[in-house]
Amino acid sequence: MAYNLLKGKKGLIFGALNEQSIAWKVAERAVEEGAEIVLTNTAVSIRMGTIGRLAEKCNTIVVPADATSVEDLENLIDKTMEHFGGKFDFMLHSIGMSPNVRKGRTYDDLDYDYLSKTLDISAISFHKAIQVARRKDAINDWGSIVALSYIAAQRTLYGYNDMADAKALLESIARSFGYIYGREKHVRINTVSQSPTPTTAGSGVLGLGDLMEFAENMSPLGNASAEDCADYVLTLFSDLTRKVTMQNLYHDGGFSSMGMSRRAMKTYEKGLRFDDVHQNQYPFGDGEK
């Protein structure tokens, strides 16, 4: 059901790859709620994914851009403003990738060049996008910027690896830039800490299936889906949340406030056998019994 929450608003959405993407769901729902959008992703992701189909459905354009490149971002913001005929109202950052995760490097055996890329792609790109938008005065007063995060920014979840560091940095950027942009232009900046979600980006995380099962059992409301997340993000783009900024907002069915549930205990007990714990904690067999 549509409520015209975003009627007359315009926005830029980073990171839609395919129908599994949260950014894809946000784009669809934003248009349903009356918004006009511009889509962007890297040239490689555009070729690999199906974002062209989304653009056709949403009657919009796709502007290729590497979010780690300031030059690309400047061109992206210019093209977006040209398409809209002026400023826009909201921006979604849904970008995350870890070469260390992709290469199977554990947190105690990181490649530091890979770590730099993880931080640049997954977090510093957020800072760059905001900085470029601010310098070009691209976002209307009382606009909204949202980035997608995860609870591993605050808690240790084995297998999430250096992406946890990236998410912690992402949330810090939202707070620091939220103060500056809010004070100057009333632009609000928030992060949404989403349930583990079966997206292409998340598929490389070690033990994602088990993590999703555990979170589902732990959360009173169960895991929030990509569609659920899109609905929540739309409220942050809308005028209903004009005084919400610099927040990390949990959208996880209650998982972040739980200690242990009866259902989750059954999942937890499966991992109490020593051999399982040893194998998972020391994948290269170098632990001591």
Q: What is the pLDDT of residue 288?
A: 40
Q: Is 180 flagged in the annotation as binding?
A: no
Q: What is the pLDDT of residue 122?
A: 98
The question of whether 160 is a catalytic residue gets the answer yes
**Which member of 3, 107, 160, 268 is catalytic?**
160
**Which member of 3, 112, 150, 282 is catalytic?**
150
pLDDT digits (tens, 9 = 90+) for 80-130: 999 999 999 999 999 999 999 999 999 999 999 999 999 999 999 999 999
Q: What is the pLDDT of residue 159?
A: 85
The radius of gyration computed from the CA coordinates of the chain, to the nearest angstrom, equals 19
pLDDT digits (tens, 9 = 90+) for 40-67: 999 999 999 999 999 999 999 999 999 9
Q: Is 22 flagged in the annotation as binding?
A: yes
Q: What is the pLDDT of residue 274?
A: 45
pLDDT at 194 over 90: yes
Tokens standing for residue 98 = 């870890």
**283: helix, coil or strand?**
coil
pLDDT band at 283 (very low <50, low <70, confident <90, very high): very low
pLDDT at 264 over 70: yes
pLDDT digits (tens, 9 = 90+) for 135-161: 999 999 999 999 999 999 999 988 899
Q: Is 37 flagged in the annotation as binding?
A: no
28 and 18 Cβ atoms separated by less than 8 Å: no
Q: Is 57 flagged in the annotation as binding?
A: no
Sketch out the chain's domains with CATH numbers: 10-205+223-257 (3.40.50.720)
**140: helix, coil or strand?**
strand
Q: What is the pLDDT of residue 47?
A: 95
pTM of the model: 0.90
Q: Is 142 left (phi over 0), alpha (psi -120 to 50) or beta?
A: left
CA separation for the pair 105, 97 (Å, rounded): 14
The question of whether 282 is a catalytic residue gets the answer no
